[in-house]
Amino acid sequence: MTGRVLMAAAMLFLLAFLASPESFASLFKPFTRNNAPAIYTQTGLMSLTLSHLGLVLLAVIASTLIAVTLAILVTRPSGREFLPLARTVTSVGQTFPPVAVLALAVPVMGFGAGPTLVALFLYGLLPVFENALAGLTGQSPQVQEAARGMGLTPRQRLWQVELPLALPVILTGVRLTAVISLGTATIGSTVAAKTLGELIIAGLLSSNTAFVLQGGMVVGILAVLIYEGFQRLEQLAAARIGQG
């Protein structure tokens, strides 16, 4: 209960801050020096936040769709051949630093939102894929057997048995991806994507701690809210299959 109240309070604070950052200026004034502005006005905070979230949302949706599709394909009898390879690629791929992926996407995509989106998408594939694979392969053979015995076709088994059973684990993967993407997107500002990182970098360049704090705070609160939201979804999905 206290958790819910805290989350609601954090969300209200965030919305109030984004709607009218100027009214919080006195809060951030102590962190500035030489009468520097306490609130970033170059680009609206709201528009930076929305573009940040949009980028993350787009990348997460794309990587979830592709990763779950791939996981379904390699767990079908016709795709089993790819399973060992898929596991190796996933574990190796996750050791690639996200910043390096971002930097390497620049020569291909040029500067702007493009490379950030590609890096977030590629990096986001792995946690979802790994979890979807675990969810789809870790099901008890008895359940499969029962589904077959009921006369369900392979397609029905996938949609009515396997996917619902794997859903909580898949959602955990999506949560990991979303939180990682939210943080990595800030670095996207170094390649000229419009994200909250712009605020942090502006703060670093002008030694204005207030900007750095604001950027970190907004992304941090967003991450906590998304994390909690997904956990709630996971609980719901687990309750639906009788594991709540």
Which positions touch other proteins (CB under 8 A)?
31, 81-82, 84-85, 87-92, 94-100, 103-104, 106-108, 130, 179, 182-183, 186-187, 190-191, 196-197, 200-201, 203-204, 207, 209, 212-213, 215-217, 219-220, 223-224, 227
DSSP-derived letter for residue 1 is -
What is the C-alpha separation between 177 and 98, in angstroms, rounded?
A: 12
DSSP-derived letter for residue 96 is S
In the block, tokens 């099901």 appear at 139
Give me the numbers of helices (H) and strands (E) for the chain, helices first please. Answer: 11, 0
User: Which residue's CB is nearer to other proteins, number 94 or number 144?
Assistant: 94
- Reading the block at residue 34, the tokens are 């030489």
User: Which residue's CB is nearer to other proteins, number 160 or number 231?
Assistant: 231
Distance of CA 41 to the CA centre of its chain: 27
Find the shortest distance in angstroms from Cβ 182 to other proteins: 7
Find the shortest distance in angstroms from Cβ 227 to other proteins: 7
What type of residue is 170? I
User: Which residue's CB is nearer to other proteins, number 161 or number 171?
Assistant: 171
User: Which residue's CB is nearer to other proteins, number 136 or number 147?
Assistant: 136
C-alpha dihedral sign at 95, 99, 101, 104: negative
User: Which residue's CB is nearer to other proteins, number 100 or number 150?
Assistant: 100
Find the shortest distance in angstroms from Cβ 156 to other proteins: 26
Smallest CA-to-CA distance from 53 within 168, 188, 164 is with: 188
What is the C-alpha separation between 19 and 27, in angstroms, rounded?
A: 16
Find the shortest distance in angstroms from Cβ 145 to other proteins: 27
Distance of CA 114 to the CA centre of its chain: 17
User: Which residue's CB is nearer to other proteins, number 127 or number 168?
Assistant: 127
Find the shortest distance in angstroms from Cβ 233 to other proteins: 18
Rg (alpha carbons) of the chain, rounded to whole number: 21
Find the shortest distance in angstroms from Cβ 148 to other proteins: 25
